[in-house]
Amino acid sequence: MVTFSTSGIPAGINIPNYDDIRQNEGFKNVSLGNVLRSRSIGEKASFIRDEDQEKYDKLVDPAFEVQVGIHELLGHGSGKLFIKDAQGNFNFNRNCINPLTQKPVESWYEGSEDYNSKFKNSGQSLEECRAECCGLYLCTNAKLLSIFGLEGETGFEVAYINWLSMARKGLLALEFYTPESNKWRQAHMQARFVILNVLREAGGIVEIKEGPLIILDKSKIETIGRKAIGHFLTKIMVYKATANVEDANKLYDHYSTVTEEYLNLRKVVIEKKKPRKVFVQAHTYLECGKVKLQNFEPTPIGIINSFITRFGPVN
């Protein structure tokens, strides 16, 4: 990533972001390496145990790379929408069985309807949650881990840190919840909070103990954890495919509920909030017909110089 002119820079993107093109034409997936690895080295991660700190610091980068890769390519990049077009033609076998009801599919998108027009406000976060669940569910797959150059015990340890990181992000997400309006302000954050609740409800794999500290039992990732995430992922995938907005919203609202316990935890999260990281963006220029890259120091002055170099001085 050389430059990205928004308030936040993505770590990966599935392009283009339209379901109809993905389904009928295909898509590209990009993973932005310098964004993935842009963090403060040696900075202690909040809300995890001391015994997890060293392993977290060592493996959080490859864990995030695996999560982003699966999230974009196999998360956003998967999932057929069942459609009945304006001529009355179906793009799926009408005998297709809904795995949640064991009956033939009873709902679909009509004519010009699409995912965004049907799911409206809840759609973005629900889709991000679906992609994040794909990352969690598949990151323990040995064959898939090998694609990222991760083998054996190292691969499983990376998967453990990925699960731990997701649970931690679910707790940190409370910063983006506004109690006064009972609203979530960021789609990814709501999605991670939902995943934390799915895992806590499953029992025995994730606990929040005094501190607060996230405790993840890695021996139960392949059993309790994957089963819970897999079941939840199946539900939201079927709801998306069959345009079942009512059941999708009911399920998602349940796991998005911020209880009194979470409101108290939110106060601690806000108290321990760290300054938002700012990405110092590089600049390219031509010199004797060759493209050169100009980097800037990771300081406030470096950020200012980066903007001046790219956009010119402010009058």
In a domain? residue 7 = no
Alpha-carbon distance values, 267 to 13, 174, 195, 197, 284 (Å): 32, 9, 20, 18, 43
Q: Average pLDDT of 199-206? A: 96
Q: What is the domain range of residue 289? A: 281-315
Q: Binning pLDDT at 50, 70 and 90, where does residue 79 land? A: confident
Give residue 40's pLDDT band: very low, low, confident or very high (50, 70, 90): low
Whether 178 maps to a domain, the answer reads yes
The CA distance from 285 to 112, in Å, is 45
Residue 11 half-sphere exposure toward CB, CA atoms < 13 A: 18
22 and 130 share one domain: yes
Residue 151's Cβ-count burial label (10 Å; 0-12, 13-18, 19+) is exposed
What is residue 272's DSSP assignment? T
| Least confident window among 36-40, 209-213, 286-290, 299-303 | 36-40
Q: State whether 215 and 285 are in the same domain.
A: no
Q: What is the pTM of this model?
A: 0.89
Domain assignment present for residue 4? The answer is no
**Same domain flag for 253 and 125:** yes
72 catalytic per annotation:
yes
| Structural domain includes residue 176 | yes
Judge whether 12 and 32 are in contact, CB under 8 Å: yes
The phi-psi region of residue 180 (left if phi > 0; otherwise alpha if psi is between -120 and 50; otherwise beta) is alpha
Our count of domains for the chain comes to: 2
Q: Could you tell me which residue, 277 or 184, shows the higher pLDDT?
A: 184
Residue 6 lies in a domain: no
Q: Is residue 25 part of a domain?
A: yes
* Assigned token pair, 234: 């199946």
d(CA 295, CA 288) in angstroms, rounded, equals 19
- 126 is a domain residue: yes
Kindly state whether residues 159 and 81 are assigned to the same domain: yes
Shortest CA distance to 22 belongs to which of 31, 35, 13? 13
Same-domain status, 53 and 105? yes
- Could you write out the DSSP letters of every residue in 195-225? HHHHHHHH-SSEEEETTTEEEE-GGGIIIII
Same domain, 191 and 305: no
Quote the pLDDT of residue 10: 81
More confident residue, 136 or 38: 136
Q: Which of 65, 72, 128, 132 is catalytic?
A: 72
Q: Are residues 219 and 288 in the same domain?
A: no
Mean of the per-residue pLDDT values for the chain?
92
In this structure, are 220 and 257 located in the same domain?
yes
Please indicate, yes or no, if residue 276 is contained in any of the structural domains: no
Confidence grade of residue 67 (pLDDT, cut at 50, 70, 90): very high
Output the CA angle 102-229-36, nearest 5 degrees.
Answer: 135
Q: How many CB atoms lie within 10 A of CB 12?
A: 23
Residues 108 and 248 placed together within one structural domain of the fold: yes
pLDDT digits (tens, 9 = 90+) for 106-146: 999 998 899 999 999 899 999 999 999 999 999 999 999 99
Query: CA 27 to CA 21: how far, in whole Å?
Result: 7
**Residue 239 and residue 303 in one domain:** no
Q: Do 186 and 248 fall into the same domain?
A: yes
| Whether residues 112 and 239 fall in one domain | yes
pLDDT band at 168 (very low <50, low <70, confident <90, very high): very high
